[in-house]
């Protein structure tokens, strides 16, 4: 089930990025809900909030380490569903953004609420997964 979730999130991420790049020019912004939510094509050459610009090898190495740690954690069959789902979301997001960096040298971002930096489906998966992971660590005991 974990790999189905990873596949679905990764597919949604890559299809949404493909659709955006086919329909918007770089830095073009289209209102979806005027004044609240826009689709804005941005090439992010950094990490979160654009920090560490043009450090592609660092990001790829970090992602490889994260993916290896997640696979190692998932090899242990003694975990709760929330913990596994959180790792699946983080894994899918890491793979989606790493794929962008490998193919393009940057990450394609397009979800723009104007009060937060522009982001994408992979970023959302990582963020949701990280919150879920923290919650599961703080509130659940692992299966014995």
* CA 78-94-132 angle, 5° bins: 45
Catalytic residue numbers read 109, 123
Residue 21 CB-density burial (10 A; 0-12 exposed, 13-18 middle, 19+ buried): middle
pLDDT recorded at residue 51: 61
Q: What is the value of pTM for the model shown? A: 0.86
Highest mean pLDDT among 68-72, 101-105, 122-126: 122-126
Question: What kind and span of H or E run contains 108?
Answer: strand 107-112
Q: Is the pLDDT of residue 144 over 50?
A: no
Percent of the chain with pLDDT strictly greater than 70? 89
Residue 67 vs residues 107, 110, 132: alpha-carbon distances, Å: 18, 24, 17
Could you tell me the pLDDT band of residue 54, with boundaries at 50, 70 and 90? low
**Is-contact 124 20, C-beta < 8 A?**
no
Residue range 102-117, pLDDT digits in tens: 999 899 999 999 999 9
């Amino acid at each position: 089930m974990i790999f189905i979730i990873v596949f679905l999130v990764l597919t949604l991420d890559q299809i949404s990025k493909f659709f955006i790049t086919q329909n918007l020019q770089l830095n073009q912004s289209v209102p979806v809900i005027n004044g609240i939510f826009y689709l804005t094509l941005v090439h992010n050459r950094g990490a979160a909030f654009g920090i560490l610009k043009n450090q592609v090898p660092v990001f790829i190495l970090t992602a490889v380490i994260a993916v290896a740690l997640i696979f190692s954690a998932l090899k242990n069959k003694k975990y709760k569903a929330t913990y596994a789902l959180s790792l699946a979301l983080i894994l899918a997001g890491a793979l989606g953004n790493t794929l962008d960096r490998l193919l393009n040298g940057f990450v394609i971002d397009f979800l723009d609420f104007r009060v937060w930096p522009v982001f994408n489906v992979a970023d959302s998966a990582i963020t949701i997964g990280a919150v879920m992971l923290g919650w599961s660590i703080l509130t659940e005991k692992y299966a014995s």
